[in-house]
Chains A and B, each alone.
Chain A
Amino acid sequence: MTRAAAAAILSHWRRHPLQLATLIIGLALATGLWSAVQAINGEARASYARAAEQLGTSGADRLVPASGSIALSRYAALRRAGWTLAPVLEGTVRFGRQSFDIMGIDLLSHPLAANLADASDQDGAAPMDALLPPGRFFAHPDTAAELAAVQQQHPVTRTSALPRGVLVADLSLASRLLRQPGTLSYLLILPGQTPDLAPLAQLAPELTRVAAKSAAADTARLTDSFHLNLTAFGLLSFAVGLFIVQGAITLSLEQRRGLIRTLRGLGVPMQLLVGLFAAELAAVAVIAGAAGLAGGYLVAAALLPDVSATLAGLYGAPVDGSLSLRPGWVLSGLAMALGGTFLAGAKALFALWRMPLLAAPATRARGQQAGRSHLLSAAGGIACILAGTAVISIFQGLVAGFVFLGGLMLGAALLLPLLIATGLRLGARLARRPYAEWLWADTRAQLPGMSLALMALLLALATNIGVGTMVSSFRLTFVGWLDQRLASEVYVTARSDTQGAELAQWLGSKGVTVLPIRSSDVRFKGAPLRIYGVADDATYRQHWPLLDALPQIWDRVAAGEAVLINEQLARRYDLSPGGSFQLEPGWVLAIGGIYSDYGNPNGQAIVALDRLLARAPDVPNRQFGLRLPPQEVPDLIKSIRQRFEIPRENIIDQASLKARSLAVFDRTFVITAALNLLTLGVAAFAMLTSLLTLWSQRLPQLAPVWAMGLSRRQLAATEVLRSLMLAAITAVLALPLGLVLAWALLAVINVEAFGWKLPMHVFPGDWLRLFLLALLAAVVAAALPARRLSRLDPAELLKVFANER
């Protein structure tokens, strides 16, 4: 019996291959976009973890200085107090034109040493030669190749056990190259400490213990918001895809009502039928899920290079550009497909379960019948919006922001049918001609079948408007900010402090205003903080992008009374002008102002240069901003090059620097734009599938009109017109939703994710473009059904009038 019943149920698809294709493609799209995002996130997270592990920092807690660096004598003292620690000195070294991050470790105590020793053995190097001059580098083969191209002095051991982009060396070499013989960056606290040692807080109160998890999670902390953004996008695509799936499942069950009734009449129990349908859905989910995973993998592989560029540019987080296949990812993708399918099919299956044995087939025709369900769905929508609003007004944080957005979007989608129906009713009132009257009424009648697709379109359009507005606002603000921030005509980086001093003197003698860019890296509440010292110069007074400041702020800064902090820092710790700020133990200044500092994940502060030098006399003096008349820039650059041995790329004029910054910015949002477009594509596909699935139900309604003298061509045009009308109304409704979304992204999500708030700018031109795009999507979606209609054999229409059912 089971086999016969299954065969009967499945025979449906043989007659409706397009419906089957819709179901599978819809589900594959949903799973695909979701899995793509997950694959990207997974790869990025794995990269962070791998890098942390490869640098031996995954298991051990760290001791970090509250400010500056750790004195070597402090390390020795802690050692002599019994703490087994591994010292690390980090910095950047330059060989020729290229700089490298270097991590200096004690090869006798660092957890990495064993791996490196093995690699060194395989190289055939003498043991411990890394501790003796000239020293030895350890690097990933790729990095080693780059290094070999610019220096031969120090032998390099290649080992893929290290992440790309970092050179590891014994402290003997690293401290020599970094010219820091007496300082360390941080200390790893090794496992297996002697019990009953004096506590670290007592021995070294100026050092902060950072838990292993949070040390490794430094990158994760910065990038979490980025990944949450991606996940939200993935979930949105998934939801949009499920709309398609839901439509297809409902239709396929609806069309098989007669069949189901017959089978039940023939004695097939309902339980078996529901089981068979569930099995059918599961099979579809697995097939479509697998297809989606394959597609998602390709999408992820295509997007990953941009994502890794973004993460590197924005957060300095290393992500390999290659994608690996993780079993967990495959399983979760399939689970999503199965879960999504049953979520989408639950209502239809439940309806099937409740279906009485004898009842007239459902006629889905009249808009009025749907009126009540529109009201119900609208009520649910309002509840969603209210709930989201309640969450954001009570809770704070990124998750609350996304809950608000989720509530808003879902609520708006649920409100959509009622709004469109109302709009159509209003339109019908305006209609004077019978054709128009019929068109409005018929469109309204078609709404229940279209509303899911329209919801998908609404979400896609609103997301496009919202994210587009966010990105464009950000870009506009960023460009303005760059103009202010990059006020100097030329930026030069000398190769050494000595050269820097010579350069500054020489430039001064030529009448060029030299603004030293000197900074000291410290820790504020465990997180990195960079303190810049600035000279008192009109450039800062005129150009620095202050968001909020006390009067005479620059006088106060110059007098050493006040500190300027960046917006991120102010928001993270709820600081405002007039408050006080502890830069280092014993160095507290009034907060004089807050400045915008886009694209920087970390805290930053500005003090008078002489005050910084008084605290940290040995901060490097190699970077300078130069003020001079713009027309003299090319000559100056040329003469600096002639006189000083400074690599070409170390002298950058303002325009190039801006261009470079903007390029990084634009690359950051490539993935956003790509996901935007894909979501819109999915929505267009949802419309197409809705129109196609409504096809067979449409004929009985079209045939009489045709019989009354509307040609098939006119009917086809009507189909397109109807689709346009629905898309247009949806697009109009999407605009306010998109703007609310943009506001939420700029004022809530951005603040949480990056630490800065951005002014919102509106771009009506973009809206028009998007409106046209929505209409285009509507035309494309309606084109296929319309074409079919215009070429339809009259016999098909005549069947409607056939007397024999």
Chain B
Amino acid sequence: MNVRPVLALVFTAWASSAFPQGFAGLGSDAEGFAMPQRGQRLSFPQDHGPHPDFRIEWWYLTANLEGADGRDYGIQWTLFRSALAPGEGDGWQSPQVWMAHAAVTASDQHLFAERIARGGIGQAGVTSQPFMAWIDNWQMASAQDNLENLTLTAAGESFSYDLLLSADGPLVLHGEDGYSVKSAGGQASYYYSQPHYQVSGTVTLPGGAVEVTGHGWLDREWSSQPLAEDQSGWDWFSLSFESGAKLMGFVLRAESGDFTSGTWISADGTAEPLEPGAFQADPLDYTMVEGRSIPTRWRAALPGKSVSVEVEALNPQSWMGTSFPYWEGPVTVTGSHSGTGYLEMTGYE
């Protein structure tokens, strides 16, 4: 995409530490943008929709799938919203910019695509009643005002997928009822998930279409100030164990010391926010990806829940070479618990 140099500036400000101060001052001060407030209760279905007064927001869905051909697959569907200024405007005057990434990963291939759109003109957006998120011809839609049953489509030059998602568990609010702290200094975001999707449908690859089934995980997060100034990137894990329990954990890497947090979700869907530092993750193996050394095998532990597992990438080359590049792909889990999951790593130079 030709707009990469421009867009990179907008989106990388919060996605990596390449511009620690942020060109728009994201790391420090939020000019006119709303700030997450502790104790503010989330309200649905409105909060499924966009929050244009906040600087950034995303609808982030990943799924671990098994094909009729017996192979493992992963898919990603992400819609980012970035506001150049708070609020909404008519048509081209809208300050909202949208970007989406879609990917399909197998052990031997990783295909991805990116879309960028202007807000205000109907090319991209999110509505909550009924719920629909779209950019161009990619969309995540429901017939209802909730996230229970979704259709999900995306297509790139060489791949596409068309999936049905149905949730068999409740929404999970992270942190304090959805207020998720992101640094020791108090940076925070609103953050909730729907980690209980059963997924079925078709993934089409250059080799042909494959019927797939599996489970998926949707993250919703918005903020105006997600990173501390010295934070250089993050490693984010969403793991689903065969026991039915799930673990979301992240490491925000910083010069002053890493900050970790997460949520333990029991098989019945009950969520327990983790104390900072309770979740531990240490790289075991590195792989050269696009000229960078990236940890693609990890030891993850949550001692309080007797979790000590090895997390290994299904495809170590799951590199998203998009306007702002990062690593994102399906993982397999072995050790005290076994299962599958997704790993996202940003800020590796």
Q: Which residues of A contact B (CB under 8 A)?
A: 72-73, 75-77, 79-82, 84, 106-114, 117-118, 121, 126-128, 131-133, 170-172, 175-176, 181-182, 192-195, 197
A131 cross-chain contacts in B, Cβ below 8 A: 84, 95, 97
- A80-B137 in contact (CB<8A): yes
- A117-B157 in contact (CB<8A): no
- B93-A113 in contact (CB<8A): no
B155 cross-chain contacts in A, Cβ below 8 A: 82, 194
- A128-B90 in contact (CB<8A): no
Bound CA–CA A113/B5 (angstroms)? 9
Bound CA–CA A158/B79 (angstroms)? 34
Bound CA–CA A787/B7 (angstroms)? 80
B229-266 contact mask (Cβ, 8 Å, vs A): 1 or 0? 00000000000000000000000000000000000000
B115 cross-chain contacts in A, Cβ below 8 A: 84
Task: Give min CB distance, A204 to chain B, whole Å.
Answer: 15
Identify B136's interface contact among A84, A118, A126, CB under 8 A.
A84
Task: Give min CB distance, A270 to chain B, whole Å.
Answer: 66
A73 cross-chain contacts in B, Cβ below 8 A: 122
Interface CB pairs A-B, < 8 A, 27: A72-B122, A75-B121, A75-B123, A76-B121, A76-B123, A77-B122, A79-B123, A79-B137, A80-B136, A80-B137, A107-B6, A114-B2, A114-B4, A126-B23, A126-B24, A127-B10, A127-B23, A128-B84, A133-B93, A170-B92, A171-B118, A176-B92, A176-B93, A181-B90, A181-B91, A194-B137, A194-B155
Task: Give min CB distance, B94 to chain A, whole Å.
Answer: 8
Smallest CB gap from B116: residue in A = A108
Given contacts A108-B97, A194-B137, A195-B157, whether A113 and B6 have CB atoms under 8 Å apart is: yes
- A72-B7 in contact (CB<8A): no
B3 cross-chain contacts in A, Cβ below 8 A: 107-109, 113-114, 117
Bound CA–CA A176/B91 (angstroms)? 10
Query: Which 3 A/B pairs are nearest by Cβ-Cβ distance?
Result: A82-B137, A76-B122, A127-B9
B33 adjacent to chain A (CB < 8 Å): no
Q: Which residues of B contact A (CB under 8 A)?
A: 2-7, 9-10, 23-24, 84-85, 90-93, 95, 97, 115-118, 121-123, 134, 136-137, 155-157, 160
- A175-B136 in contact (CB<8A): no
Bound CA–CA A117/B9 (angstroms)? 10
Identify A175's interface contact among B4, B91, B134, CB under 8 A.
B91
Smallest CB gap from A84: residue in B = B136
Task: Give min CB distance, A237 to chain B, whole Å.
Answer: 46
Taking A84-B136, A176-B92 as known contacts, 18 extra A-B pairs with beta carbons closer than 8 A to each other, sorted by chain A number, are A79-B137, A80-B122, A107-B6, A111-B2, A113-B3, A113-B6, A114-B2, A117-B3, A117-B5, A118-B5, A121-B5, A126-B23, A132-B84, A132-B85, A171-B118, A175-B91, A181-B93, A193-B157
- B160-A113 in contact (CB<8A): no
Secondary structure call for the A interface = loop
Bound CA–CA A133/B95 (angstroms)? 9
- A127-B122 in contact (CB<8A): no
With a 10 A CB-CB cut-off, give which of B2, B92, B115, B136 has the most chain A CB atoms.
Answer: B92
Task: Give min CB distance, B255 to chain A, whole Å.
Answer: 26
Smallest CB gap from A170: residue in B = B92
Given contacts A75-B121, A109-B3, whether A171 and B134 have CB atoms under 8 Å apart is: no
With a 10 A CB-CB cut-off, give which of A77, A80, A81, A182 has the most chain B CB atoms.
Answer: A80
Smallest CB gap from B124: residue in A = A79
Given contacts A80-B136, A127-B23, whether A181 and B5 have CB atoms under 8 Å apart is: no
Identify B95's interface contact among A132, A192, A195, CB under 8 A.
A132
Bound CA–CA A352/B90 (angstroms)? 85
- B92-A171 in contact (CB<8A): yes
Smallest CB gap from A73: residue in B = B122
Smallest CB gap from B99: residue in A = A108
B118 cross-chain contacts in A, Cβ below 8 A: 106, 108, 171
Bound CA–CA A84/B113 (angstroms)? 12
Bound CA–CA A401/B344 (angstroms)? 69
Identify B157's interface contact among A111, A114, A133, A194, CB under 8 A.
A194
- A109-B116 in contact (CB<8A): yes
Bound CA–CA A121/B156 (angstroms)? 30
A77 cross-chain contacts in B, Cβ below 8 A: 122
Bound CA–CA A81/B91 (angstroms)? 19
- B121-A81 in contact (CB<8A): no
- A79-B136 in contact (CB<8A): yes
A79 cross-chain contacts in B, Cβ below 8 A: 117, 123, 136-137
Task: Give min CB distance, B150 to chain A, whole Å.
Answer: 18
- B157-A192 in contact (CB<8A): yes
B121 cross-chain contacts in A, Cβ below 8 A: 72, 75-76
Smallest CB gap from A195: residue in B = B157
A127 cross-chain contacts in B, Cβ below 8 A: 6, 9-10, 23-24
B160 cross-chain contacts in A, Cβ below 8 A: 194
Task: Give min CB distance, A265 to chain B, whole Å.
Answer: 76
Bound CA–CA A172/B156 (angstroms)? 28
Bound CA–CA A172/B120 (angstroms)? 11
Bound CA–CA A117/B90 (angstroms)? 24
Bound CA–CA A132/B84 (angstroms)? 8
Task: Give min CB distance, B139 to chain A, whole Å.
Answer: 8
Bound CA–CA A192/B157 (angstroms)? 7
Task: Give min CB distance, B34 to chain A, whole Å.
Answer: 18
B157 cross-chain contacts in A, Cβ below 8 A: 192-195
Identify A80's interface contact among B4, B134, B156, CB under 8 A.
B134
Task: Give min CB distance, A191 to chain B, whole Å.
Answer: 10
B24 cross-chain contacts in A, Cβ below 8 A: 126-127
Task: Give min CB distance, B134 to chain A, whole Å.
Answer: 7
Task: Give min CB distance, A764 to chain B, whole Å.
Answer: 63
Given contacts A114-B4, A128-B10, A195-B157, whether A108 and B122 have CB atoms under 8 Å apart is: no
Identify A114's interface contact among B5, B92, B123, CB under 8 A.
B5
With a 10 A CB-CB cut-off, give which of B122, B136, B156 has the most chain A CB atoms.
Answer: B136
B7 cross-chain contacts in A, Cβ below 8 A: 108
Bound CA–CA A609/B115 (angstroms)? 44
Bound CA–CA A388/B156 (angstroms)? 57
Bound CA–CA A176/B94 (angstroms)? 12
B85 cross-chain contacts in A, Cβ below 8 A: 132
- B92-A172 in contact (CB<8A): yes
Bound CA–CA A73/B7 (angstroms)? 24
Smallest CB gap from B155: residue in A = A194
Bound CA–CA A81/B160 (angstroms)? 14
Smallest CB gap from B90: residue in A = A181
Bound CA–CA A84/B4 (angstroms)? 16
Task: Give min CB distance, A135 to chain B, whole Å.
Answer: 10
Bound CA–CA A80/B122 (angstroms)? 9
A75 cross-chain contacts in B, Cβ below 8 A: 121, 123
B92 cross-chain contacts in A, Cβ below 8 A: 170-172, 175-176, 181
Bound CA–CA A132/B82 (angstroms)? 13
- A172-B136 in contact (CB<8A): no
Task: Give min CB distance, A285 to chain B, whole Å.
Answer: 48
A194 cross-chain contacts in B, Cβ below 8 A: 137, 155-157, 160
Task: Give min CB distance, B59 to chain A, whole Å.
Answer: 17
B95 cross-chain contacts in A, Cβ below 8 A: 131-132
- B117-A108 in contact (CB<8A): yes
Task: Give min CB distance, B24 to chain A, whole Å.
Answer: 7
A126 cross-chain contacts in B, Cβ below 8 A: 23-24
Bound CA–CA A30/B336 (angstroms)? 91
- B122-A113 in contact (CB<8A): no
Task: Give min CB distance, B87 to chain A, whole Å.
Answer: 11
Bound CA–CA A113/B7 (angstroms)? 10
Smallest CB gap from B6: residue in A = A117
Identify A128's interface contact among B6, B117, B134, B137, CB under 8 A.
B6
Bound CA–CA A176/B92 (angstroms)? 9
Task: Give min CB distance, A377 to chain B, whole Å.
Answer: 63
- B84-A172 in contact (CB<8A): no
With a 10 A CB-CB cut-off, give which of B2, B10, B24, B115 has the most chain A CB atoms.
Answer: B2
B122 cross-chain contacts in A, Cβ below 8 A: 72-73, 76-77, 80
Bound CA–CA A381/B16 (angstroms)? 81
B5 cross-chain contacts in A, Cβ below 8 A: 114, 117-118, 121
Bound CA–CA A108/B137 (angstroms)? 17
